[in-house]
Amino acid sequence: MQATAYTYDPETRAGSVLLDDGTPLPFDAAAFDAGGLRLLRPGQRVRIRTEGSGDGRRVVFVTLQTFPDPGA
């Protein structure tokens, strides 16, 4: 799934993405670390993997759109 980086805090390695329909989804340090990134800038297109649904939906993997998702 693709999204756009919305916020990112380099100290906590957490932030949020916007889905293509405008829905924000937060991600934690574990999701950021799983993608192998060192930095993320707002506006970058990203590839994400999510788990759950509804209010329990969460991002478990985030990386740049051009990087592969080894879990896909």
Q: Going from the N-terminus, what domains does the chain have, and what CATH number goes with each?
A: 2-64 (2.40.50.140)
Phi-psi region of 7 (alpha: psi -120 to 50; beta: other; left: phi over 0): beta
Residue 24 CA to residue 68 CA, distance in Å, equals: 23
Residue 49 above 80 pLDDT?
yes
Residue 72 above 90 pLDDT?
no
Q: Where are the alpha helices (DSSP H) in 1-72?
A: 29-34
**Contact assessment for residue 61 and residue 15, using Cβ atoms and an 8 Å cutoff:** no
Going by pLDDT thresholds of 50, 70 and 90, the confidence category of residue 67 is: confident
- Tens-place pLDDT, residues 10-40: 999 999 999 999 999 999 999 999 999 999 9
Residue 58 above 80 pLDDT?
yes
pLDDT on residue 40: 96
pLDDT on residue 70: 75
